[in-house]
């Protein structure tokens, strides 16, 4: 039984909270800057904390689940313990795949640029596709779970 809820939440939040796309907090020249396609280590840290909090709210507190119709019919009773697997995987991937931190694909001047702290619409799209593929592999194909009581 595959729960696509955490994947959906993680991908949507990845796009919305990618520093520089909608906003950057803190900005380079102001506290908050909108649509500047820039990033920094500090803004990736702040956006990662926001991402962590929102993923926890949607996945752990609100328990957003999306199942295939056939899977719902034979669904087992959910575990009472919190599954931190989707949260941990999503936050780590958010940090590693934030365009401009480790790499930007495609870069502004080259196919791949490393640590340039910039982003573009195209690189956000490519990084989102990579994010979706990796989180689907970890959560759906492999089924990573971290349960706490």
H runs (alpha helix) in the chain: 5-17, 41-55, 69-73, 85-97, 121-136
Residue 146, pLDDT score: 86
**Residue 143, phi-psi category: left (phi > 0), alpha (psi -120 to 50), beta (remainder):** left
Angle value at C-alpha 20, between 17 and 24, nearest 5 degrees = 75
- Listed by start position, the domains of the chain span 5-148
Strands 23-24 and 82-83: unpaired
Question: Is the bond preceding 106 in cis, omega lying within 30 degrees of 0?
Answer: yes
Q: How do residues 39-62 score in pLDDT, each as one tens digit?
A: 999 999 999 999 999 999 999 898
Q: Per the structure block, which two tokens stand in for 134?
A: 């990796």
Indicate if the pLDDT at residue 71 is higher than 70: no
The chain-wide mean pLDDT, for the chain, equals 89
């Amino acid at each position: 039984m595959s729960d696509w809820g955490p994947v959906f939440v993680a991908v949507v939040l990845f796009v919305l909270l990618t520093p520089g796309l909608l906003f950057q907090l803190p900005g380079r020249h102001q506290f908050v800057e909108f649509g500047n396609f820039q990033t920094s280590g500090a803004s990736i840290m702040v956006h990662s904390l926001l991402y962590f909090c929102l993923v926890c709210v949607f996945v752990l507190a609100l328990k957003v689940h999306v199942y295939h119709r056939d899977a719902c019919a034979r669904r087992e009773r959910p575990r009472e313990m919190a599954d931190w697997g989707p949260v941990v995987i999503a936050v780590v991937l958010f940090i590693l795949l934030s365009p401009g931190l480790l790499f930007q694909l495609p870069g502004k001047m080259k196919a791949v640029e490393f640590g340039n702290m910039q982003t573009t619409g195209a690189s956000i799209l490519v990084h989102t596709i990579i994010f979706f593929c990796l989180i689907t592999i970890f959560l759906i194909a492999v089924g990573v779970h971290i349960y706490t009581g």
